């Protein structure tokens, strides 16, 4: 008995989860290469004791990554790249794992390797680091990811990959996605992804959408609370009436 308040509670709990995910999207509205996260809700059906007595609870079944591309913003920095197309860049994290992401704000570290802002090494097609010698001058990065020095000497080629299983990857933060424990990445060389030098990909979070979601979440939460309140009043009323009769 008393499933009503639990149904309302399941909605309230789901809305709180949704709020957290939305808050994170909004907080990252200015994070380059960021991909928004979405929560998926499912109904969980519980059959009651009598036939026809069916109750649907809300459960948060999972969250998925919104993979739409963000807008390209021109920065003029030769070490900034953006990807035009569905491909991914590969990085080596500090703990040696291969991660994928679309953050193209590169710099060189003290060893002359291309790294991201947080120090993750950018990998070439073969999975090796990309070294830029100090005398390379202003480097050029071609559409296919080929890095060449100012004098036109090719240095390396930035690895571009298609990662079909990206939705099942774990998010590490720092714009990185890694395969879940023990799984293989399944990354293959990208088809139809071009590199744009001197630009970065903005976050794909759409502020208006997130704002309306905030409103939706709040109203749904209030609704859940209202159901609880109504249920509480019903119960109180019932107790009062039954109490008077006996």
Partner 1 sequence: MKALGIAATGMLAQQTNVDVISNNIANANTTGFKTSRAAFQDLIYDSVSREGALTSEQGTARPTGIDVGLGVQTAGTVRLNTQGGLSATENGLDLAIDGAGYFVVNMPDGSRAYTRDGALRMSAEGELVTLQGYSVDPGIVIPENTQNIEINEQGVVMAFVENDPVPVELGRLTLATFINEGGLRPVGNNLLEATVASGDELSANAGDPGVGVIRQGYLENSNVNIIQQITDLIAAQRAYEMNSKTIETADQMMSTATRMR
**Can you tell me which of 42, 144, 150, 237 binds partner 1, judged by CB under 8 A?**
150
Q: Is 217 in the site for partner 1 (CB under 8 A)?
A: yes
- Which of 44, 218, 235, 239 binds partner 1 (CB under 8 A)? It is 218
Nearest one of 126, 119, 118, 84 to 102, comparing CA atoms:
84
* Contact pick of 1, 45, 49, 151 for partner 1 (by CB under 8 A): 151
From candidates 95, 135, 240, 246, binder to partner 1 by CB under 8 A? 135
Length of the chain: 246
Tokens 């809700």, located at residue: 41
Residue 197, SS3 per DSSP: strand
Given the complex with partner 1, which of 27 and 191 has the nearer CB atom? 27
Q: In the complex, what is the shortest distance from the CB of residue 183 to partner 1, in angstroms, rounded to a whole number? A: 6
> Of residues 80-99, which lie at the interface with partner 1 (CB under 8 A)?
none
- Selected binder of partner 1 within 127, 229, 238, 239 (CB under 8 A): 229
Q: Which is nearer to partner 1, 183 or 239 (CB)?
A: 183
| Shortest Cβ 233–partner 1 spacing (Å) | 10
Strand runs labelled E in the chain: 37-47, 54-65, 72-74, 81-84, 88-92, 98-101, 106-108, 114-116, 121-122, 140-141, 146-148, 154-157, 160-162, 170-173, 176-178, 188-189, 194-197, 199-201
**Shortest Å, Cβ 222 to partner 1:** 5
Q: How far apart are CA 77 and CA 97, in angstroms?
A: 28
User: Given candidates 92, 102, 105, 157, which one binds partner 1 under the rule CB under 8 A?
Assistant: 105
Q: Which of 66, 140, 174, 206 binds partner 1 (CB under 8 A)?
A: 174
Residue whose C-alpha is closest to residue 171's, from 28, 10, 14, 15: 28
Dist CA 61 CA 65 (whole Å): 14
For partner 1 (CB under 8 A), the number of binding residues is 75
Which of 64, 69, 85, 146 contacts partner 1 by CB under 8 A?
64
Say how far residue 20 (Cα) sits from the centre of its chain: 13
Token duo for residue 205: 């979070």
Residue 25-54 contact track with partner 1, rule CB under 8 A, x = bound:
xxxxxxxx-x--x-xx--------------
Nearest distance from C-beta of residue 219 to partner 1, angstroms: 10
Chain centroid, CA 150 distance in Å: 36
Q: What residue has token string 């004791």?
A: 49
Nearer to partner 1, 61 or 191 (CB): 61
């Amino acid at each position: 008995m008393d499933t009503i308040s639990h149904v309302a509670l399941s909605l309230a709990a789901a809305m709180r989860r949704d709020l957290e995910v939305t808050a994170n999207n909004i907080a990252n509205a200015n994070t380059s290469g960021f991909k928004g996260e979405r929560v998926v809700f499912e109904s969980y059906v519980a059959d009651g004791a009598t036939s026809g007595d069916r109750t649907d609870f809300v459960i948060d079944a999972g969250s998925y990554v919104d993979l739409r591309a963000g807008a390209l913003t021109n920065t003029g920095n030769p070490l900034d790249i953006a990807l035009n197309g569905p491909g991914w860049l590969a990085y080596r994290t500090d703990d040696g794992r291969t991660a994928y992401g679309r953050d193209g704000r590169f710099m060189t570290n003290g060893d002359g390797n291309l790294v991201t802002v947080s120090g993750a090494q950018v990998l070439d097609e073969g999975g090796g680091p990309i070294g830029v010698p100090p005398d390379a001058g202003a480097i050029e990065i071609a559409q296919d990811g080929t890095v060449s020095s100012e004098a036109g000497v090719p240095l390396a080629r930035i690895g571009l990959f298609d990662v079909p299983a990206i939705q099942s990857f774990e998010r590490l933060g720092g714009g990185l996605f890694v395969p879940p424990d023990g799984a293989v990445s399944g990354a293959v060389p990208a088809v139809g992804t071009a590199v744009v030098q001197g630009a970065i990909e903005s976050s794909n979070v759409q502020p208006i959408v997130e704002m309306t979601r905030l409103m939706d979440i709040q109203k749904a939460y209030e609704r859940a609370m209202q159901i609880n309140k109504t249920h509480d009043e019903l119960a109180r009323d019932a107790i009062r009436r039954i109490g008077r009769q006996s």
